[in-house]
Chains A and B, each alone.
Chain A
């Protein structure tokens, strides 16, 4: 169990500040700190998803390089540092290990017509939202937490979870929907 490093110590810069220092100042010290924090987690994520040691380290390299190159696109109002790096790790894993393309909607998609930003009720500090969310996930009933983790960590879509766990599809969907209701409540509280 590893909590966000020193999140209660005001003298230690938050992960979000480190990311902004990389974006604005190309700050290598900040990047080293981000690497120390996230590289072992991204590796753990890749290993959980079945990558061998070598492939997992290649993914870490790829992800951390992307963090350096794309730091200027990070917006702390939209996502915590962990969420932003999660999406990079997820997409790079799909690309490298599953060898599929990841269809993504870019925030500057011309069809969005300047409406790419989330509605105002979501523009609270994403990092604070994350701590509420962490509490909600920690309190989920075990069977709901399980479907969540299977999807994020085992690359299983909900119908595969049903087959592999021998649980009817309807039950998987119910557990998932109950979990999602609780998760949404965590966001609702911030509005």
Chain B
């Protein structure tokens, strides 16, 4: 069971449907590891069910039911099902929501080296100003110091890392408030792979940062 969870507000926004796609991807992926957060989301969805019963009903057109019944009558006998997930873990280390967002396994992902030992995936998901990508830290490697003008989150997929706030293992979520400098260092005994979600692009700090922010790669 993970020790670090998304904030209760994020679970709430996720269940209410107001959370945007990029952040929702991290929450949905965390749920694969965390029975407790799954239960909380189920409870908040029950709250949505109660609110649906309370909402001021709006009469629908008389023809709407007939239109739906006609579509049903014309549909093939067996309605199209979503493609079933193969029975044995085909996702490798990836939770289903992330596997679907990537459009396949990790094998197809290309990597961009930021500094020695630190790679970002060529794959990214951008919606509005928010973006998600994968972050790969070699054993013992540290992410260059950076600050950001908005919220940043990491979900650990393999391995573990530490920063000034704690240690994060598989399934854990690290959340950083805006303008919080932090220094993630991967455990020495193995690579650490994370889903990285940012509300706004990163700003690297320090001497290296000046170059990194200009797209310079080492």
List residues of A whose CB falls within 8 A of some B CB. Answer: 1-4, 28, 31-32, 35-36, 38-45, 47-48, 56-57, 60-61, 64-65, 68-69, 78-87, 89-91, 93-94, 100-106, 108-112, 115, 118-119, 122, 126, 129-130, 133-134, 137, 148-149, 151-158, 160, 173, 176-177, 180, 183-184, 187
Q: How far, in whole Å, are A61 and B79 apart by their CA atoms in the complex?
A: 16
Contact A4–B68 (Cβ < 8 Å)? no
Q: List 16 A-B contacts (CB under 8 A).
A: A35-B68, A36-B65, A40-B58, A42-B52, A43-B57, A47-B58, A79-B49, A105-B29, A105-B97, A108-B85, A126-B46, A134-B53, A151-B12, A151-B13, A152-B51, A180-B44
* Closest 9 pairs between A and B when the two form their complex, measured CB to CB: A83-B49, A40-B57, A82-B49, A110-B89, A90-B17, A103-B28, A109-B96, A151-B16, A69-B79
Q: How far, in whole Å, are A61 and B60 apart by their CA atoms in the complex?
A: 10
Contact A157–B20 (Cβ < 8 Å)? yes
**Apart from A47-B58, A94-B21, A183-B43, what 9 extra A-B contacts exist at CB < 8 Å?**
A36-B65, A41-B52, A60-B64, A79-B46, A100-B127, A110-B86, A130-B46, A133-B50, A153-B51
Contact B12–A137 (Cβ < 8 Å)? no
Contact A180–B12 (Cβ < 8 Å)? yes
Q: How far, in whole Å, are A149 and B69 apart by their CA atoms in the complex?
A: 32
Residues of B12-64 at the interface with A, using a CB-CB cut-off of 8 Å, are 12-13, 16-21, 24-25, 27-29, 31-33, 35, 38-40, 42-61, 64
Residues of A within 8 A of B59 (CB): 40, 43
List residues of B whose CB falls within 8 A of some A CB. Answer: 8-9, 12-13, 16-21, 24-25, 27-29, 31-33, 35, 38-40, 42-61, 64-65, 67-69, 71-72, 75, 79-80, 84-91, 94-97, 100-101, 127
